[in-house]
Amino acid sequence: MSAQSEPESVRDEHAVPEGTDVNGSDPGPVDAVEESRKAPQRPPPGDSRGGRGRSWVTVGFALGLGASLAWLAVQTVMRVSSMLTLLLLAVFIAISLEPLVVWFTRRGLRRGWAVAIVLTGFIVVLGGFLALVIPPVAKEIGALVDAVPGWLEQVHNHQSTIGRLEDRYHVVEKAKEQIGSGSGASGLAGGVLGAGQIVLSTVTSTAIVITVTLYCMAALPTMKQFGYRFVAASRRERVEGVAEEIMSRIGKFMLGNLVTSGIAGVATFGWCVATGVPYPAALGVFTALMDLIPIVGSTLAGIVVSLVALSLSLPIAIATAVFYVVFRVAEDYLIVPRAMKFAVDVHPLVTVLAVLVGGALLGIIGALVAIPAAVAVGLVLDEYVFPKKQRT
């Protein structure tokens, strides 16, 4: 029988498998050109979506838009920086007064009544300070106005000291020329308007701080719970513990600072009464407020009180300066360690640097919150940063 007549099954058994030669071996790789033609086209590696890569125009536009938004954000923050400072002060006062609110709530008072009592006491203290300071200042301004006619008489008296100075420098004629030219009048009016603007700004800022402090004190637990919701649930308990410790330290620090400042104010009042320095009550309250600023506050208050004492005599002024030096030593080594024993534990160098940086950034308010901020940073480092470094 011929090969053409072989059964179909026999031909299938002897058929050469596809992809092998007649000897059953692999013929080798397929041609690369054919493989590339058959393979599906892949998108460029630069764009996973299969489109073209971004052009330089798109990148430049994105960078320009980002820079413009950043510049706009910085300008906006700078414009509202004074308002942000007031808000920071209000939040700081609310946190500082929180221990007193908690103390009242533990005695059975509702939080609203506790906040009202604490804030009322704060306003009473502030009003007492204004009541002590404004009358002496008004009295001095009245004395200055009453003395102007006498000074004018001395100007025309060529035998007096003021008269001789007028004959030599012609101060009155120059003042008349300035006022008559209009620039002096506009400058005087600008000064008066500037003083009025300062008074109005001070009153407005005080009202804003008191109002925001009231709302922050009333809603502080709700605000804390809202802030904790941004933390992952697995770490929330730890973050709450650190945050509560920071706020507790801040409150204790401010209460201790109030105690030391009150002692400084009482000591100043007693010294002024004993030596006859004028305005003892106003200077006492001024010293107490300045002593709230760490490191430099009591020193500045001592300089001011010494200058006021100079109006009596040089020996009293020197004695006042010595009194403040002795009191500063006693405050640093006897009063503050006992008042701040359970509040803060900050190295003196860190305290000085924090006060200087805070004062440079936010002025008196920055110097006031500098040490609590340093305490908060120290707690965060002890809780999160240093343990990780120890494990590595």
Q: What is the pLDDT of residues 245-277, one digit of tens each?
A: 888 888 878 778 888 888 888 899 899 989 988
**pLDDT(328) > 90:** no
Token pair of 42, please? 């892949």
| Nearest CA among 227, 251, 222 for reference residue 239 | 227
Residue 245 and residue 329: Cα distance in Å, rounded? 30
| Nearest CA among 379, 361, 79, 78 for reference residue 249 | 379
Confidence of residue 6 (pLDDT cuts 50, 70, 90): very low
Residue 79 and residue 273: Cα distance in Å, rounded? 46
Token pair of 272, please? 């002024």
Q: What is the pLDDT of residue 379?
A: 80
pTM: 0.59
Percentage of the residues of the chain whose pLDDT score is greater than 70: 68
| Nearest CA among 130, 129, 128, 103 for reference residue 117 | 103
Q: What is the pLDDT of residue 174?
A: 67
Q: What is the pLDDT of residue 9?
A: 46
Q: What is the pLDDT of residues 162-186, one digit of tens each?
A: 667 667 766 666 666 655 555 554 5
C-beta atoms surrounding 216 within 10 Å: 20
Confidence of residue 5 (pLDDT cuts 50, 70, 90): very low
Q: What is the pLDDT of residue 320?
A: 92
C-beta atoms surrounding 371 within 10 Å: 26
Q: What is the pLDDT of residue 3?
A: 44
Q: What is the pLDDT of residue 44?
A: 53
Q: DSSP readout, 35-60? A: HHHHSPPPPPTT-TTSSPPPPHHHHH
Q: Torsion angle of alpha carbons 307, 308, 313, 319, nearest 10°?
A: -70
Number of alpha carbons in the 13 Å side-chain half-sphere of residue 322: 6
Percentage of the residues of the chain whose pLDDT score is greater than 90: 4
Residue 219 and residue 36: Cα distance in Å, rounded? 69
**pLDDT(343) > 60:** no
Count of residues in the chain: 392
C-beta atoms surrounding 215 within 10 Å: 13
